[in-house]
Amino acid sequence: MEAALLAWFDAHGRDLPWRRTRDPYAILVSEVMLQQTQVERVVPRYLGWLERWPTVEALAAASPADVIRAWQGLGYNRRGLNLHRAGQQIARDGWPEELTDLPGVGPYTAAAVASFAFERDVLPVDTNVRRVQERTGHAFSPRAGQALMDLGATVCLARIPRCGICPLAETCPSRGSRYEPLRKQSRFDGSFRQRRARALGLVAAAERPLADLDAEAVESLARDGLVEVEGGVVALPGEATIRA
C-alpha cells in the first residue's frame, strides 16, 4: 500500500516551496503558518516572510511590532508572536533536542520539523494523515509523511472522499464510504476573534487611545502580549508612548 502511495505522490504531489529546503527555520515558518490557515494563503506570505527575514537570526533581531504587522491577515496572531519568540530562543541557544520546548511548538509541529528538516524517523500526524491512516487501517512509515498529507488534502477528503482516483482504493476497507459533515468552525463574522482582529489591525496601523477601541478586545490582546497599554494609549509591543 505504501509503495502505491509513494508512486502516486511522485506523479501528483504538490510543489510547495517549503518542500524544496531542509532549512529547519524555513520549515518551522511554514508549519506555524499552516496551523489553521489554508495552503493557498500561506504560500505568498511564506515567500514574503523569508525574503524579509531569511534566517532565524534575522527574525530574532526584528521587533515584535514588525513581526505582528507582517503576520496581519494570517489569523491567530499569537502564532506570529510565538514564532518570533522561538526564533529568539534558537538564535540565543541553538535548536533544542526537544522541539516542543520552543514557544508555540506542539507535538505535531515538532514532529514535522524533526522529520522534514532533521530527517528524524518520525511520522507527523495531522488531520489529513490521521484520516488516511484510520480509513486504510495501514501503518505507514515516516517517509510517507508528505504523501499522506497530500492524499488527505486532495483525494481522501473528510466528507466525500474521491475514491475513484485514489491510489489506495483497491485495498482500502473504507472505499466508497461517505461521512457525516464535520463540525464547522464557529463563524468569524461577529465573533470575539473578529473584534480582536479589528482592534489589532487598528493598533498595527498607528497607536490609538484606549477610549477609541474595543476595551474587552484590547484587554485580551494585552494578555497575549500582542499590544501594550501605556498612559491610556494602545500600541504594539515596544511602541507605546507614555503620556503624562
16 contacts 42 by C-beta, under 8 angstroms: no
CA distances from 54 to 4, 23, 128, 224 (A): 37, 10, 29, 26
Say which residue the cell 491567530 belongs to. 76
31 contacts 82 by C-beta, under 8 angstroms: no
The per-residue b/e assignment along 205-237, b for 16 or more CB within 10 angstroms, e otherwise, is eebbebeebbeebbebbeeeebbbbeeebbbbb
Residues serving a catalytic function are 31
* Alpha carbon distance 200, 79 (integer Å): 14
Cell numbers of 195, please? 473584534
Three-state secondary-structure class, residue 113: helix
